[in-house]
Amino acid sequence: MSGNKVDIKVVLLGKSYAGKTCLVERYLHERFNGETVPYQNTIGAAFGAKKVDVNGKKIVLGIWDTAGSERYESMSRIYYRNAKAAILCFDLTDKSSFDRIRFWIGELQTHEEACKIYICATKKDIIDADPNTRDVNEKEAQALAKDVMAELYETSSKTGENINELFMAIAQYYLETVKTTEVKEDMIYLNEVKKRLPCSCKST
Amino acid sequence: MSDLKEAEHQNTSESSDQGEFLEENAPGESENPMLIASDSYENLNYEILDGTSTAQRQTPNTESNETSTGEESNNEEQTETANDVAKKKQEIVPVEEDHDDVNSEHWRSQSKHIFILSEAGKPIYSRHGSEDKLVTIMGVMQALVSFVGDAKDSLRCMIAGDHKFVFLVRDHLLLVGVSSGMDSTHQILLQLTYVYNQVISVLTQSTLCKIFKQRRNYDLRRMLSGAEKFFDNLINLMDSEPGLLLGAVRCLPLDGSVREIIAQSIVQHAKIKDLVFGLIITNNQLIALVRIKKYYLHPMDLHLIMNLVNASESFKTAESWTPLCLPKFDSSGFLQAHISYLDDSCNTCLLLLTVDRESFFTLSDCKSKIKERLLKYNALRAISDSLQKTAYGIQQCGINDLRHFLYKSKSTAQYTSPELEAPYVTQKEKDRLFGLYKYLHHRIHTSGRPLKILFHVGPYETLLGWVTQGFELYAVFGPLVTKTSAIHAVNKLLRWIKREEDRLFILNSVTF
């Protein structure tokens, strides 16, 4: 999939073992190997792309699944640079992964202001099966999401719950903002023409 | 001991015979190599020097030991302290009754242990058992090293019973190898160097130094989380793959013309600014390597690349873009690697290494074009065919009583060997054979007394090792072979390899 064919760059960030790769696997290939294949941490980052249809418009999502290991953090900028959307993943059964989200929020707010943040809670199926395993309070997560004006999605890669919705929301949001920026671009274009006109008059 | 005398005798008596052989064009030799030619311990010796200087414990005394690399003399010196220390160690172990790990028979009976700890004694990695439970034993190791270091000396190895303990101190890290197998102390040191390089490959040397300069007692496991599998895999590889011992890589046997097509596909479609290396590997074997003119790849770095691909499943699902440090190429920084598989069964892996961090999509396009071309010319088919059928059996060489061999062409840093056949089919027999090679390799490369030819009669087989300017050959014969017939057979073998060299080696170095 060539780079110029990608409309939206989406990056997944979060602690290792938060479930980023499984989320992408579910979305791109509609499969879940979490129970059959032993855990494999991502090396660097993996790229995948998917074409989605939003209100009759075809959009290509370019998805970067990054490694969660701490050693990649210093290099993570090359992965989230110019991303339109960031999915910050945390594991509902692991509080420390939720705390890590704040780091990424800070990182994005300083370096990548234009990037829209989506907070994604993973492994919901485990919580559904046994509510005692929940380690992250829903209210707390919602408060954080509200703070940074992000949307919160509770997902399960095993059942597929809320995953399409998450990516759909990203695509839709993008389309909306593109419309407005397109209009802006048009306006600028007109202004430029206006500006240029007197010049050409002068020269003639 | 009689073996040794015999060997030396052999060494002199057969030297004329050796000169007779085509020294100037040894099989698999190339004037235009793509890898850095390597002698087995050449760069290791350099690294020992390097290591002590960074360890800041050098004294004129140890320096002189280093340059002569008088392993034996040094050993004697060390074993004195080693015996005391070993006694101490044996005392210490039973005291720690609550440590299920150290006391478990399973843990103790492992033939090779590798430990990494920080200078402050913090555990970082252990091959067997969980490093958490080994805090005490690692503390002992750290104490030993700093005790000897206090006396302005450096602890390099100790021998206790049939166990060898080898220590390597580099850049705030202490690496310890313990082996009860056939490995010589030098060979264990080489393995530790590989493990150290694996750490560098993940972090870079500059990051490593920076971390420990800021906090001496930093827990490096945080930075290495997820990299444990690289260490595990690398150490297992060193127990089974002779290439790491020889400092050479194995190439997938392919027709010269097919190899040319593959290399040209990379050249044509990946001729991109800032791309340093493009290579295709499969199953620990090299298929093609293209480089920019200025730079060569060191076999040690190539082994680390193979280890990276081998140890990770995650490249199989998607195209990856990952930072990778090649310690021999540049230990201070990362290259960016585009890694993807070319076939659906995930055997053939393409790596494009660049210094441009933004070129993922450009390289992704290159990959598609390379794949297209390889499909068009049936090259992928040729690769999978070669993978499926065994490389070659010893019968194909047509030499009686020759059971197995390793042949390394020094100038190209490549080696070849036939498939393992009976009697070397069970794991135990395979390990024993590899042990014989280690023994032969060790004897020939003994630093105080390097040999050219060694003829060794063992209880189950006869070994012949032969090292010249151009090659290293280690051959295993049946037990009843005589010296003359072995020499004769080996000459015949060299002629066979020469005939097959186009298929077994990559002789042309292709550049962008």
**CB-CB neighbors (< 8 A) of A34 in chain B:** none
Burial class (CB in 10 A: 0-12, 13-18, 19+), B56: exposed
Query: What is the domain-level CATH number for residue A10?
Result: 3.40.50.300
**Closest residue in chain A to residue B365, using alpha carbons only:** A2
Name the token pair of B297.
């790849």
Judge whether A204 lies within some domain. no
- Is residue B451 located within the same domain as residue B484? yes
**CB-CB neighbors (< 8 A) of A69 in chain B:** 223, 225-227
Which stretches of chain B sit within 8 Å of chain A by CB? 202-203, 207, 222-227, 308, 312-315, 317-324, 334, 336-337, 339, 357-358, 360-362, 364-365
- Is residue B56 located within the same domain as residue B180? yes
Query: What is the domain-level CATH number for residue B485?
Result: 3.30.450
pLDDT in tens, A109-145: 999 999 999 999 999 999 999 999 999 999 999 999 9
Domain boundary pick from B246, B262, B296:
B246
- Residue B412: CA atoms inside 13 Å, Cβ hemisphere, count? 27
Judge whether A196 lies within some domain. no
Q: Which has more pLDDT, B8 or B337?
A: B337
On whether any CB of chain B is under 8 Å from the CB of A48, the answer is yes
Rounded CA-CA distance B487/B353 in Å is: 44
Model confidence at B423: pLDDT above 60:
yes
The residue-averaged pLDDT of B151-163 equals 93
Model confidence at B197: pLDDT above 70:
yes
**What is the least distance, in Å, from the CA of A74 to any CA of chain B?**
10
ipTM of the complex: 0.85
pLDDT in tens, B295-319: 999 999 999 999 999 999 889 989 9
The DSSP symbol for B134 reads: G
- Is residue B202 located within the same domain as residue B136? yes
**What is the least distance, in Å, from the CA of B251 to any CA of chain A?**
26
Which of A46, A70, A79 is closest, CB to CB, to B318? A46
Total of domains in chain A:
1
Query: What is the domain-level CATH number for residue B221?
Result: 3.30.450.70
Task: Spell out the residues 6+ positions from residue B164 whose beta carbon is closer than 8 angstroms to its own.
Answer: B157, B158, B177, B178, B179, B180, B183, B184, B185, B188
Judge whether B512 lies within some domain. no
**Closest residue in chain A to residue B203, using alpha carbons only:** A71
Q: What are phi and psi of B130, to 5 degrees?
A: -95, 135
- Is residue B80 located within the same domain as residue B95? yes
Q: Provide the pairing of β-strand A116-122 with A151-154.
A: parallel
- Is residue B212 located within the same domain as residue B331? no
Judge whether B208 lies within some domain. yes
**Closest residue in chain A to residue B324, using alpha carbons only:** A44
- Is residue B151 located within the same domain as residue B107? yes
Judge whether A193 lies within some domain. no
Model confidence at A201: pLDDT above 60:
no
Say what the pLDDT of residue B458 is: 93
3-class secondary structure for chain A?
A: CCHHHCCEEEEEEECCCCCHHHHHHHHHHCCCCCCCCCCCCCCCEEEEEEEEEECCEEEEEEEEEECCCHHHHHHCHHHHCCCCEEEEEEECCCHHHHHHHHHHHHHHHHHCCCCEEEEEEECHHHHHHCHHHCCCCHHHHHHHHHHCCCEEEECCCCCCCCHHHHHHHHHHHHHHHHHHHHHHHHHHHHHHHHHHHHHHHHHC
- Is residue B200 located within the same domain as residue B324? no
Q: Are A101 and A88 a contacting pair, CB within 8 Å?
A: yes
Judge whether A162 lies within some domain. yes
- Binned at pLDDT 50, 70 and 90, residue B410 comes out as very high
Least confident stretch, A176-190, B40-54, B211-225, B479-493: B40-54
Rounded CA-CA distance A38/A31 in Å is: 15
Which of A42, A48, A70 is closest, CB to CB, to B314? A42
- Is residue B331 located within the same domain as residue B238? no
Judge whether A27 lies within some domain. yes
Tell me whether residues B319 and A69 touch, CB distance under 8 A. no
On whether any CB of chain B is under 8 Å from the CB of A7, the answer is no
Tell me whether residues A2 and B320 touch, CB distance under 8 A. no
- Is residue B368 located within the same domain as residue B493? no
Q: Are B147 and B158 a contacting pair, CB within 8 Å?
A: no
pLDDT in tens, B240-281: 999 999 999 999 999 999 999 999 999 999 989 899 999 999
Judge whether A199 lies within some domain. no
Judge whether B354 lies within some domain. yes
Total of domains in chain B:
3
Query: C-alpha angle with apex A89: A86 to A90, nearest 5 degrees?
Result: 155
Burial class (CB in 10 A: 0-12, 13-18, 19+), B463: buried
Q: Which of residues 122-151 of A touch B (CB under 8 A)?
A: none
Cα separation values, B249 from B35, B155, B344, Å: 9, 32, 25
Judge whether B510 lies within some domain. no
- Is residue B362 located within the same domain as residue B285? yes
Rounded CA-CA distance B423/A67 in Å is: 45
Question: How does DSSP assign B412-441, residue by residue?
Answer: TTEEE-PPP-TTTTSHHHHHHHHHHHHHHH
Give Cα B299 distance to the centre of its chain: 8
Judge whether A134 lies within some domain. yes
Name the token pair of B207.
């990051």
pLDDT in tens, B106-149: 898 999 999 999 999 999 999 999 888 899 999 999 999 999 99
Cβ neighbour number for residue A138 with a 10 Å cutoff: 13
Domain boundary pick from B363, B389, B415:
B389
- Binned at pLDDT 50, 70 and 90, residue B449 comes out as confident
- Give residue A127's domain range: 5-184
pLDDT in tens, A31-68: 998 888 888 899 999 999 999 999 888 999 999 999 99
pLDDT in tens, B47-103: 444 433 333 333 333 333 333 333 333 444 444 444 444 444 444 444 444 445 788
- Of B201, B194, B161, residue with least CA distance to B177: B194
The residue-averaged pLDDT of A9-15 equals 96
Amino acid making up residue B45: N
**In the block, which residue shows the tokens 């090299």?**
B286
Tell me whether residues B317 and A25 touch, CB distance under 8 A. yes
pLDDT in tens, B346-372: 999 999 999 999 999 999 999 999 999
Question: A9: phi > 0 → left, psi -120 to 50 → alpha, else beta; which?
Answer: beta
Tell me whether residues A47 and B364 touch, CB distance under 8 A. yes
Mutate to test the interface with A, among B320, B366, B372 (most CBs of A within 10 A): B320
- Is residue B47 located within the same domain as residue B189? yes
Which of B223, B317, B322 is closest, CB to CB, to A44? B322
Question: A149: phi > 0 → left, psi -120 to 50 → alpha, else beta; which?
Answer: left
Asked whether the bond before B423 is cis by omega within 30 degrees of 0, the reply is yes
Judge whether B127 lies within some domain. yes
CB pairs under 8 A between A and B: 83
Neighbour order of strands in the sheet with B123-126: B123-126, B112-118, B173-179, B163-170, B157-160
Give Cα A31 distance to the centre of its chain: 20
- Give residue B449's domain range: 3-32+393-504
Cβ neighbour number for residue B97 with a 10 Å cutoff: 9
Mutate to test the interface with B, among A24, A42, A63, A71 (most CBs of B within 10 A): A71
On whether any CB of chain B is under 8 Å from the CB of A190, the answer is no
Tell me whether residues B226 and A67 touch, CB distance under 8 A. yes
Mutate to test the interface with B, among A43, A75, A78 (most CBs of B within 10 A): A43
Judge whether B321 lies within some domain. yes
Judge whether B438 lies within some domain. yes
Say what the pLDDT of residue B450 is: 83
- Is residue B120 located within the same domain as residue B220? yes
Which of A3, A16, A71 is closest, CB to CB, to B361? A3
Judge whether A72 lies within some domain. yes
Say what the pLDDT of residue A181 is: 59
pLDDT in tens, B13-53: 333 344 344 444 678 888 888 888 876 665 554 444 443 33
Domain boundary pick from B357, B389, B421:
B389
**CB-CB neighbors (< 8 A) of A46 in chain B:** 314-315, 317-321
Tell me whether residues B308 and A45 touch, CB distance under 8 A. no
The widest CA-to-CA distance across chain A, in whole angstroms, is: 80
Rounded CA-CA distance A33/A36 in Å is: 5
**What is the least distance, in Å, from the CA of A8 to any CA of chain B?**
14
Task: Spell out the residues 6+ positions from residue B53 whose beta carbon is closer than 8 angstroms to its own.
Answer: none
**CB-CB neighbors (< 8 A) of A68 in chain B:** 226
Q: Are B472 and B40 a contacting pair, CB within 8 Å?
A: yes
Judge whether B157 lies within some domain. yes
Say what the pLDDT of residue A177 is: 86
On whether any CB of chain B is under 8 Å from the CB of A76, the answer is no
Rounded CA-CA distance B35/B46 in Å is: 19
Task: Give chain B's radius of gyration (CA, Å).
Answer: 23
